[in-house]
Amino acid sequence: MATDDIHPESLTAQGLGWVDEATRAISPPIHFSSTYLRDADNGYSSGRVYMRDQNPAFDQAEALITELEHGHQTMLFATGMAAATAVFQALHPGDHVLAPRVMYWSLRNWLLGFATSWGLDVELIDMTDPAAVQAAMRPGSTKLVWVESPANPLWTVTDIAATAEIVHRTGALLAVDSTSATPVLSQPLDLGADLVMHSATKYLNGHTDLTAGSVTTRGDNEHWQRLRSVRAQIGGTLGSMESWLLLRGMRTLFLRVRTASASALQIAEHFDGDDRVAEVLYPGLSSSQGHEIAKRQMTGGFGGMLSIRVAGGEEAAIAVAATTRLWKRATSLGGVESLIEHRASVEGAGTPAPPDLLRLSVGIEHVDDLIADLDHALG
């Protein structure tokens, strides 16, 4: 049966249905060899030379992500940051790139620190405004536009299709960080993006027990080949055990993401309008500024991430996070357990996160328990 005839839920649950040909095992083997045997003529008919970028442990997970993203090819990396920064390292010094003002904090710091000192011309703009994107484009100089949607930690939404049209007019590439949306809810490549990146540490793995990253391309081109060289030569690749764990985590991806998304919407609706909450930030709310765009480019839910602004200000927000029992005070997102974090104090100076904001990563616990715990903490 061709994969076109099978629902993505089934493909993911069975890891594309691959079976180990040597043993007929349903669960894939874990490959630990760091090198591979040469042929008698000193060649490599196996197609593998060295573990760093040719580990067979990558094959099944990469193929599954490629299938889910409707892409051409995927590369795994050791972390989400390794995947994201490789996209920029595949450019040339002097290239102009655009990135959103609201985005994953670690990558923002890397862009404004290392990337600029290395020679990239980095400009941060309001990526939710197509007019601002159009005005910032420099034909011949702008080589890459980076989008995150929904964007951490305000969960603003960028119109990927409209942005792709603007970006491609000048011959630039569009890359989308789709970590919070996941391929369960959105396929940016179908909307016109050239690359889609995931911090696979988060929802793809979903169990808070490894770090990983992935980049998927819509097609082969010079930038993709340079990106492949960056991975091979810098060496930010995933280990064998982590690759196996990532694939195991992805088998429950659809169940986890849909549960978290449904619960997040219920939590957002419950606290929207609560006098103890100044604002609920979630694209699934009809009052959200990006709701209509999110409805167009997300299917089956709006994600498991939301933020609340506590009416009492910064001190009250920190106190709420300190009082919850089920919601754990910890950095990260996308796991089976629900996490709460005061982002402004974590990110520090220059953060776009308001001081009264708490970021919530909704897990798969019973939603009534999550609401009751947060309600008690707010009280």
Say which of 159, 177, 356, 373 is annotated catalytic: 177
Residue closest to 73 by CA, chosen among 82, 84, 62, 60:
62
Residue closest to 294 by CA, chosen among 167, 129, 160, 203:
160
Say which of 108, 143, 194, 202 is annotated catalytic: 202
- CA gap 4, 250 in Å, rounded: 19
| E runs forming strands in the chain | 73-77, 96-100, 121-125, 142-148, 173-177, 195-198, 213-217, 277-281, 305-310, 328-329, 339-342, 357-361
Question: How far out from the chain centre does Cα 325 lie?
Answer: 27
Residue closest to 353 by CA, chosen among 54, 37, 101, 87:
101
SS3 (DSSP) at 176: strand
Say which of 48, 52, 251, 309 is annotated catalytic: 52
- CA gap 246, 234 in Å, rounded: 22
SS3 (DSSP) at 270: helix
Phi, psi of 361 (to 5 degrees): -105, 110
Measured N-to-C along each axis, helices 222-234 and 80-89 cross at an angle, to the nearest 10 degrees, of 130
- CA gap 73, 80 in Å, rounded: 17
State yes or no: is 282 an active-site residue: no
CB-based contact 345:318 (threshold 8 Å): yes
State yes or no: is 202 an active-site residue: yes
State yes or no: is 52 an active-site residue: yes
- CA gap 329, 377 in Å, rounded: 13
Using left for φ > 0, alpha for ψ between -120 and 50, and beta otherwise, residue 17 falls in left
Instruction: Give the angle subtended at the CA of 62 by the CAs of 5 and 330, to the nearest 5°.
Output: 110
Token duo for residue 167? 């970006």
State yes or no: is 329 an active-site residue: no
- Please state, as a whole number, how many other Cβ atoms lie within 10 Å of the Cβ of residue 124: 18
Which residues are known catalytic residues? 52, 104, 177, 202
